[in-house]
Amino acid sequence: MSKVKTFSGSCHCGAVQFEIDTDLPELTTCDCSICTRKNALMVKVHETSMRVLSGMESLTTYQFHTNTAQHYFCSICGIYPFHRKRVTPDYFGVNVFCLDNFDPTGIPVRATVGVGMK
């Protein structure tokens, strides 16, 4: 079992700062219409393992289809740092490319099917 670590992250301009705690069991991609367009590579974390440290007022939310998932974007630089998941709304999908000094090399990547979700 991997050790849980704390990772810091931010949007591009730094207005949104956050931390997550994860043991990085896997990373995921998704083939839904928004994830393919934003080329998302994500780690799933429970809402209790994520903290927005600053910039909540800079986040804007985009919802579509069932309007369940909440996709957050920085209203200043436009970067997607994370989203609240549709099927498991007590979890966030965090954009690993927003994590400071993060190297995804060697972490298994699982492709999830989003395009066929009803």
Q: Is 95 exposed, middle or buried (0-12, 13-18, 19+ CB in 10 A)?
A: buried
Contact predicate 27/104, CB 8 Å: yes
- In the predicted model, what is the mean pLDDT of residues 88-101? 95
The Cα 80–Cα 73 span in angstroms is 4
With a cut of 60, say whether residue 117 has pLDDT above it.
no
Q: Tens of pLDDT along 28-43?
A: 998 888 888 988 899 9
- In the predicted model, what is the mean pLDDT of residues 3-24? 97
